[in-house]
Amino acid sequence: MKTRAIVAWNVRRIRVDRGISQEKLAYEAGIDRSYMSSLERQSKNPTIDLLDRIAETLDVHLSEFFVRPPKGARSPKTLPKGRKLARPRRRKK
């Protein structure tokens, strides 16, 4: 697995484990959501400074992004309702 793939896999894994949407993570890290999506799809090659901001936002050490996934590990799933939170339904009177 290439380094870019390892970083993308770990960013997504940590983000999904914490229940944070791409949109929220991108906003809090001060980057565009589409860039965050591209990073997770391995389309972008982020700088160390950007990875440092993402790590701070996720409250992890930067080295967490470079941990090789175990053999046979599945790709992290998406969050349940996509990027938007489910709104409570209004009761009809």
Mean pLDDT of 4-12: 92
85 occurs within a structural domain = no
pLDDT at 83 over 70: no
The pLDDT-based confidence of 74 (bands split at 50, 70, 90) is confident
Mean pLDDT of 12-36: 91
Q: The domain spanning residue 44 has which CATH number?
A: 1.10.260.40
In terms of residue numbers, what domain contains 18? 3-62
Residue 93: DSSP 8-state: -
pLDDT at 78 over 90: no
**Whether the Cβ atoms of residue 64 and residue 10 lie closer than 8 Å to each other:** yes
Higher per-residue pLDDT: 23 or 82: 23
Mean pLDDT of 40-53: 92
What is the tally of structural domains in the chain? 1
Tokens 């993308």, residue located: 8
pLDDT at 84 over 70: no
Tokens of 22: 């791409």
